[in-house]
Amino acid sequence: MQAVLLAGGFGTRLAPLTYTKAKPMLPLLNKPMISYIIEALPKGTEIIVAANYRNEQLEEYFNENGINGRIVKEEKPLGTAGAVKNVEKYIDGTFLVLNSDIISSLNIRKFIQFHMQKKSFATISLWPVENVEEYGVVDIKPDGRIMKFVEKPPRHEAPSNLINAGAYCLDAEVLDYIPPNKFVSMEMEIFPRIIEDGKPFYGFTFDGYWIDVGRHSSYIEATRILLKNLGRKYVVGKSEVRGNLKYSSVGDNCIIDEGSILDSCIIYNDCKIGKNVIMKNCIVAEKCIIGDGAKLKDVVMGEGEEIEASACIEGEKIWSKPLPEGYPEKQIGNPVKR
């Protein structure tokens, strides 16, 4: 079976982190985000990554770690369905489609088994939410068959509290629904047509955890969830930590000096944080320096930035260099509809 990992976006909502690093390569507990999806796949799954930004980083990671996969470049953004159509020649039967920025406890083997048992044409993963008014929810039968999607219904009219959780198991014939070389949304255009045609379309509900790592806040939340699952309060690479960490991760070759307190922070490699620095809900990319006594809250630092001693900064994105060549000034397309 093949698994198509969707990794074609620029990750504009995670800038400036994604100015220098492909979104799937952003570290979660010092491992690339995409590694969590790869590790969850059944053994022997053929991996196809649909990507169009900083592909060399993905290729280097796959080569260095002996991952049997194929990186397929999109010459232009194609959307969730267009990206799948673009790798059609590598698909030879029932296949998976997984969003590379979703971290979850989905048991993919059970997900595939459910698809096969139901003789489904298309099966999607489903996740329960409380705030149905903010999502598209499914109208689902007791046996799991999905009848339609209902966009942001009033709570009292919602047919369920289940949303699309971004993992799909599809028969190869689904590819016939997708026109080539066009920006096409699987969720908004293809799935409704499959339902209208009366094809067996099912939903697989799971529990545990699910998070769409699309924003700085959800990136930090994913770090906290994974730490909790490990029963740990922090993870540190080959670094020197003299301060205190809480619900945080620190990469390699870093120094966190004495008296500093980091709460719910993500620190990449090669960073230096001075003495008596107070940080909460911050993300710091590679090769950054933070001076003694600085106080930071909800701050995101791009690669190679520096903050002076005693600075007090809240709610800012730190990037002092030009926008990287080819990086869009605004988001291309739309985030996946849930």
Confidence (pLDDT) at 334: 45
The more confidently predicted of residues 135 and 218 is 218
Confidence (pLDDT) at 329: 72
Count how many Cα atoms sit within 13 Å of the Cα of residue 242 in the half-sphere of its side chain: 11
Say what percent of the chain tops pLDDT 70: 97
The more confidently predicted of residues 151 and 208 is 208
Q: What's the mean pLDDT when you consider all of the chain?
A: 93
Domains and CATH numbers, the chain: 2-212 (3.90.550.10), 233-318 (2.160.10.10)
Confidence (pLDDT) at 336: 47
Confidence (pLDDT) at 330: 64
pLDDT average, residue stretch 177-205:
95
**Model confidence over 114-149: pLDDT tens digits?**
999 999 999 999 999 998 888 889 999 999 999 999
**Model confidence over 2-30: pLDDT tens digits?**
999 998 778 889 999 999 999 999 999 99
Name which of 104-113, 198-207, 219-228, 329-338 the model is least confident about.
329-338
pLDDT average, residue stretch 263-267:
98
Asked if pLDDT for residue 213 goes beyond 50, the answer is yes
pLDDT average, residue stretch 183-212:
95
Asked if pLDDT for residue 93 goes beyond 90, the answer is yes
pLDDT average, residue stretch 97-121:
97
Confidence (pLDDT) at 55: 84
pLDDT average, residue stretch 269-282:
98
Confidence (pLDDT) at 331: 55
